[in-house]
């Protein structure tokens, strides 16, 4: 049997994630409807579902079933979406546009946007608590994994460092720290939770982790490059915004060519990390190549 | 052996909670220190620790050990503190003063305050995931309990309804809905998590739940009354603020006398609920009386 092409694979998986999220979230009409409408507005805004698709692919790469990984996949997408809503707030990055649509607070107002983000963060743990424990990974261990990645040391810590770095020149090390916290940590955790749902061996979990750390940084370097080289229309968010706000980016510190080389190097390291998983990790390899092959 | 007086009991218990929180939270110097300083600023701001003390007392009332209830007690205090930080934001209730000190965003700025709240919400689940499962209550069940109470249907839902009700006259039913969501749900959940840590029987859990629902509403009615009758200095927050903002309160809808009668009625119902727990619930009864006996 010929495997289906990656683009169809990605489309199928992201539809699976959409359906799971729709099932896990309260209806838009559930009382009080404003917060549920606001949660769904950002959650179903045409996101790429990159993190949850990685969760499902990691589960398969470790010999597991994707159905068992759906709660974790849905939970990481809720965390990702909440972080975007809060990052876009006027008191943070002050963005009006996200995925080609007005940001949450532009539509619902700041108060509701804060609360919709809070609610998505909260429901992420409620959803993950509905996952099945595996012999090696209790639900408690899975909750701790997600809370750590989303917490003050990683996801939130990165946004703090980002806020504090605004308006001054960052070093390469500082920029890497921010990207590791803001992007690589949750992406790695998305993969690890998929592996955990498959009861991964310690060696499998280690391989998945190294893959995620390199892929996550690669992804962010590419995002930085795209912000410089692409138009607002294509990007679905305000292009050149990072530079306009004198935010540090890889191209701003290293220039475009060196940044591109860095992205290629990180992707190669991601591939190397997957070797122990052999042919089971084919989809993860394809996804890594696909993310790197975005025009940058 | 004579039992220690309630005031000493409360002081001892709240010190236990303080120490547990200090252990569970990252050091103020942990990187990035701004967020950890901001989390600790609000968490150690002289709060009464009412919810976590109820968690510990509920554990005892169900025959459990308070040590086993400390993760749940710490988690509910983190949730409560996060909700105060976010409620005080300019885009919400816009409060400058809380527990007699400047609010989190007044000290750290709005962006950091949003993130410190997010981090406290996140760490609550990380802390609760460190609790011990009991034969009747898995960690997953305990996580779902907290996420439900803190989520869009209850704690957050109440704040939404509160925001949406501003500036117009609410009915008594609407006001009760807000108070049940904003106050009674988390307070009840605090008690239930204590009971769960003690492996409460279904009958014990039911009694604790009914107690919480009545106590929670009673507590909020009394808070409304105090806001009208007390001075800013005594209250530690801006008095009369609810009325100034034309927010609905029990005294505004029913008048002071009827509100006081309602508080007494609710406290009586709370006492009745505790009957099945017999003398083990003595402290819970004392706490209910103590909360009702605040000068209102």
pLDDT in tens, B71-116: 999 999 999 999 999 999 999 999 999 989 999 999 999 999 999 9
**In chain B, whose CA is at the least distance from the CA of A154?**
B32
Is pLDDT above 80 for A293?
A: no
Q: How far apart are CA B190 and CA B112, in angstroms?
A: 27
pTM of the model: 0.94
Interface subset of B 163-192, CB within 8 angstroms of A: 163-164
Instruction: List pLDDT tens digits, range B166-185.
Output: 888 899 999 999 999 999 99
Residue B242's pLDDT band (cuts 50, 70, 90): low
Is A125 among the domain residues? yes
**Rounded average pLDDT over A56-66:** 98
**Rounded average pLDDT over B262-284:** 94
CA A212 to chain centre: 11
Is B211 among the domain residues? yes
Helix ranges restricted to H, A129-255: 139-150, 155-165, 172-179, 185-197, 202-229, 232-235, 241-244, 250-254
Is pLDDT above 70 for A47?
A: yes
- What is the nearest CA distance from B239 to chain A, expressed in angstroms? 23
Instruction: Calculate the alpha carbon distances from B266 to A296, B8, B181 in Å.
Output: 65, 26, 16
Contact residues on chain B for A122, CB-CB shorter than 8 A = 121, 147, 150-152, 156
- Helix or strand run (H / E) with residue A99: none
Q: Whose structure tokens read 């305990």?
A: B142
Q: What percent of chain A has pLDDT over 70?
A: 93
Q: How far apart are CA B26 and CA B35, in angstroms?
A: 10
Is pLDDT above 90 for A228?
A: no
Q: Is A39 part of the contact surface with chain B (CB cutoff 8 Å)?
A: yes
Q: Is B94 part of the contact surface with chain A (CB cutoff 8 Å)?
A: no
Are B153 and A30 a contacting pair at CB < 8 A? yes
Is B74 among the domain residues? yes
Residue count of chain A = 296
- Higher per-residue confidence, B121 vs A238: B121
- Give me the pLDDT at residue B235, please: 60
Q: Is B86 part of the contact surface with chain A (CB cutoff 8 Å)?
A: yes
Report the residue of A120, A160, A166 to disrupt the B interface, i.e. the one with the largest count of B CBs within 10 Å: A160
Is B23 among the domain residues? yes
Q: Is A126 part of the contact surface with chain B (CB cutoff 8 Å)?
A: yes
Q: Is A125 part of the contact surface with chain B (CB cutoff 8 Å)?
A: yes
Contact residues on chain A for B141, CB-CB shorter than 8 A = 129
Is B1 among the domain residues? no
Residues paired with B102 in a beta bridge = B97
Are B156 and A35 a contacting pair at CB < 8 A? yes
Is A293 among the domain residues? no
Number of independent structural domains in chain B: 1
Is B293 among the domain residues? no
Is pLDDT above 60 for A193?
A: yes
Are B157 and A125 a contacting pair at CB < 8 A? no
Q: Is A96 part of the contact surface with chain B (CB cutoff 8 Å)?
A: no
- What is the nearest CA distance from A227 to chain B, expressed in angstroms? 23
DSSP single-letter state for residue A63: T
Burial class (CB in 10 A: 0-12, 13-18, 19+), B83: buried
Q: Whose structure tokens read 């460190």?
A: B130
Is pLDDT above 60 for B233?
A: no
Burial class (CB in 10 A: 0-12, 13-18, 19+), B233: exposed
Q: How far apart are CA B239 and CA B104, in angstroms?
A: 19
Contact residues on chain B for A114, CB-CB shorter than 8 A = 86, 89, 91-92, 114
Contact B154, A32 (CB under 8 A): no
Is B292 among the domain residues? no
Q: How far apart are CA B237 and CA A17, in angstroms?
A: 45
Domain holding A249, by residue range, is 6-288
Q: What percent of chain B has pLDDT over 70?
A: 93
What CATH number corresponds to the domain at position A253? 1.10.600.10
């Amino acid at each position: 049997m010929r495997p289906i092409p990656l683009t169809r694979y990605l489309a199928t998986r992201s539809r699976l994630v959409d359906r799971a999220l729709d099932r896990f979230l309260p209806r838009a009409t559930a009382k009080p409807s404003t917060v549920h409408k606001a949660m769904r507005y950002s959650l179903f805004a045409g996101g790429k579902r990159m993190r949850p698709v990685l969760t499902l692919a990691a589960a398969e790469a470790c010999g597991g079933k994707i159905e068992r990984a759906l709660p974790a996949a849905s939970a990481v997408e809720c965390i990702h979406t909440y972080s975007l809503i809060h990052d876009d707030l006027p008191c943070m990055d002050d963005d009006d546009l996200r995925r080609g649509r007005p940001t949450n607070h532009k539509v619902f107002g700041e108060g509701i946007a804060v609360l919709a983000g809070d609610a998505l963060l909260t429901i992420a743990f409620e959803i993950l608590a509905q996952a099945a424990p595996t012999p090696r990974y209790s639900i408690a261990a899975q909750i701790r994994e997600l809370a750590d990645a989303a917490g003050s040391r990683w996801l939130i810590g990165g946004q703090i460092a980002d806020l504090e770095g605004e308006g001054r020149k960052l070093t390469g090390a500082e920029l890497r720290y921010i990207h590791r916290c803001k992007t690589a940590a949750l992406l790695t955790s998305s993969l690890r939770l998929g592996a955990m749902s498959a009861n991964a061996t310690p060696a499998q979990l280690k391989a998945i982790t190294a893959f995620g750390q390199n892929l996550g940084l690669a992804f962010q370097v590419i995002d930085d490059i795209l912000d410089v080289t692409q138009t607002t229309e294509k990007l679905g968010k305000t292009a050149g915004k990072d530079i306009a706000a004198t935010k540090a980016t890889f191209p701003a510190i290293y220039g475009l060519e060196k940044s591109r080389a860095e992205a290629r190097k990180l992707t190669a390291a991601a591939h190397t990390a997957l070797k122990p998983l052999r042919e089971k990790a084919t989809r993860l390899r394809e996804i890594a190549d696909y993310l790197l092959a975005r025009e940058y």
